[in-house]
Chains A and B, each alone.
Chain A
Amino acid sequence: MRGLAEAIRSRKVTSEEAVCAVFQSMEEREPSLHAFLSLWKEKTIEEARRCDALVREFVENGKEDELPPLLGVPVAVKDNLLLEGERTTCGSKMLEDFVAPYTASCVEKLKGAGAIILGKTNMDEFGMGTTTENSFFGPTKHPSDPKRVPGGSSGGSAAAVAGGMAFAALGTDTGGSVRQPAGYCGIVGLRPTYGTVSRHGLVAFASSMDIAGPLCRDVLDAALLYNVIRGEDTKDQTSVPSSAVDSEALENYTLSGKRIGILRPLLENENTEEDVAQAIQAVSALATEKGATVEMVDMPLLEHAVAVYYILSSAEASSNLSRYDGIRYGYRAEGIRNLEELYTKTRSEGFGLEVKRRILMGNYVLSSEHFEDCYRQAERAAKALRAEFRKLFGKYDLLSGPVSSTTAPRCGEAGKDPLSAYISDLCTVPASLAGIPAVSIPCGYDRDRLPIGLQLMGPCFGEQEILGAARFLEKEFSLRTGKGAGSHG
């Protein structure tokens, strides 16, 4: 993405050429991948031409330096981020025909940086899912293996980037929905510190954990995209100020002298695949070789992390989704005979099964009999987890583990047992609960040539640290085998 941006600015390549190349990829791959829910080819080409004209104008007047950083670069945006004038479906029948009346703040920033938004990507309905199979509009496939899933809920964005159909994409991460698909698809996915990217225009799933994040081909792209979309926003009172990531400092980062803790429960659990474990061990060895101290860290609270996450996220989701009643926008059932049916029929027909499941769970934990034992306990546990992380970051610069215990599962597996699917989120939910930043980078392949993702976590506002380490490892991996530290092929 950076390369393209620079090439456009220096007129080595035109935006129109880039866009056409992307469309070429799409023609080949999109029919089978189904990464996109909305595309607007003519608009995109026109936009590209406008960008090219702007470049010419600025260059002719010697003002290249004033060109926006991502001018003319085609990027994709997950379909739960509002873009004015276009459909925003959240992968749901409920919003199938909903045309956004305004644009999300982070998407505005993307546009402000000159990027061309070429389409909206597929996702699990309202962000609920781990495979993108919960989309009302059909699943997205894994770019390397059509019998497998790309992960979720930002599966469309991950497949678009990994499949060469976009130079970068925005996804959203609540319990791991940017990091896990990035891991499955072999690209970089960043979950920023909670609040550093505005949630205005991000359709709410779990308000206290939702955040938009970049899915990119490499770490420096992710850093650049993060710098573009971050920013305190008066329209989001939970947003906070942050500092830009310094890309020069990223290049100069070294692991020598750094203390890395590998969270034992994330690595040593019954679901961890052998190849994943080996890949992480290999990274550990590499880091040690490069002068870092690597240790296994125990964190007993992690045993309850998934339960805590699902209690809090379902509770918030059940409330956030109460607005979908067909009165002011969205799907409305036909043949409604009375007010009660307006709600129950509309919502039952408009929502998929997983969404219903979460809404029921949320109502359960919030009802007065269970509020204290479920919700309040989960609140306390999350607070305790944050305190635990703070303590650990006093001792370690980075905490690590796999981004998932497995590589990309086959299609249809997750739906069989929802509880197992939830438990598979173990590696990613801790960072979500703590509000800390976490990045997933590819660190190898398994025996089936499926990508394995390494997760690096840092303290709040520690994007510089984790992206620095990620960049360092990324360079090491490509030096070693060109494929990854723990490659099997």
Chain B
Amino acid sequence: MPHRQHSAELFRETMQKSDSENISRLSRLSGLSLSEEEKEILSEDLSRILPYMERVSELQMTDACPDPEETYVSSFREDEAYISDVSGKIRSCSQNMSDGMFTVPKTVE
């Protein structure tokens, strides 16, 4: 595998784009909405953490060798159906139900 400079450069480029833009996009992808304060703190944190993690891109390794400890699915479940005895308890885990269905704000498709 060739020496990977490109990723560190890409990261620097990415960070040159506004930090706020990046953190906003990342938080959207994460299903989160951050307060301004959180954005600042987390932006700062990530600006140190992410380069630290991305150093792995510089490691030279091959995909070649198989893993002798690789496990495969050893026992499959038989195709038999039954109603789970948990199902009744599960349905009582939510307060937002109507006629046996879970409810969310109106979704437009």
Direct contact of A and B (CB under 8 A): yes
Contact yes or no, B93 A98, CB < 8 A: yes
- B96 CB-CB contact with A under 8 Å: yes
- With A359-B30, A369-B10 as contacts: A328 and B93 at CB distance below 8 Å: yes
Which residues of the other chain, A, contact B42 by a CB distance below 8 angstroms? 353, 356-357, 360
As a 0/1 sequence over residues 345 to 374 of chain A, the CB contacts with chain B under 8 angstroms (1 = contact) are 101100101001101111111010110011
- A240 CB-CB contact with B under 8 Å: yes
Q: In whole angstroms, what is the CA distance A65 to B56 when docked?
A: 55
Name the one of A240, A327, A361, A460 contacting B50, with C-beta atoms under 8 angstroms.
Answer: A361
Contact yes or no, A99 B30, CB < 8 A: no
Contact yes or no, B89 A101, CB < 8 A: yes
Task: Please provide the chain B residues from 66 to 91 with a CB less than 8 Å away from any CB of chain A in the complex.
Answer: 67-69, 71, 73, 75, 77, 86, 89-90
- A332 CB-CB contact with B under 8 Å: yes
Q: In whole angstroms, what is the CA distance A336 to B96 when docked?
A: 13
**A: interface residue count bin:** 35 or more
Contact yes or no, A318 B56, CB < 8 A: no
Contact yes or no, B53 A310, CB < 8 A: yes
- With A327-B94, A353-B38, A360-B46 as contacts: A373 and B54 at CB distance below 8 Å: yes
Contact yes or no, B61 A380, CB < 8 A: yes
Q: In whole angstroms, what is the CA distance A435 to B45 when docked?
A: 29
Contact yes or no, B105 A338, CB < 8 A: yes
Q: In whole angstroms, what is the CA distance A484 to B95 when docked?
A: 54
As a 0/1 sequence over residues 296 to 319 of chain A, the CB contacts with chain B under 8 angstroms (1 = contact) are 000000001001101100000010
Task: Please provide the chain A residues from 89 to 131 with a CB less than 8 Å away from any CB of chain B in the complex.
Answer: 98-99, 101-102
Contact yes or no, A422 B96, CB < 8 A: no
Which residues of the other chain, B, contact A359 by a CB distance below 8 angstroms? 30, 32
Contact yes or no, B46 A383, CB < 8 A: no
Which residues of the other chain, B, contact A345 by a CB distance below 8 angstroms? 33
Contact yes or no, A348 B32, CB < 8 A: yes
Contact yes or no, A337 B105, CB < 8 A: yes
Which residues of the other chain, B, contact A384 by a CB distance below 8 angstroms? 61
As a 0/1 sequence over residues 441 to 460 of chain A, the CB contacts with chain B under 8 angstroms (1 = contact) are 00000000000000000001
- B63 CB-CB contact with A under 8 Å: yes
Which residues of the other chain, B, contact A422 by a CB distance below 8 angstroms? 49
- A386 CB-CB contact with B under 8 Å: yes
Contact yes or no, B53 A361, CB < 8 A: yes
B69 CB to closest chain A CB (Å) equals 6
Contact yes or no, B94 A381, CB < 8 A: no
Q: In whole angstroms, what is the CA distance A67 to B94 when docked?
A: 40
* B interface residue numbers (CB < 8 A to A): 4, 7, 10, 14, 23, 26-27, 29-35, 38, 41-42, 45-46, 48-50, 52-57, 59, 61-63, 65, 67-69, 71, 73, 75, 77, 86, 89-90, 93-96, 102, 104-107
* A interface residue numbers (CB < 8 A to B): 84, 98-99, 101-102, 195, 234, 237-238, 240, 304, 307-308, 310-311, 318, 322, 325-330, 332, 336-339, 341-345, 347-348, 351, 353, 356-357, 359-365, 367, 369-370, 373-374, 377-378, 380-381, 383-384, 386-387, 390, 418-419, 422, 435, 460
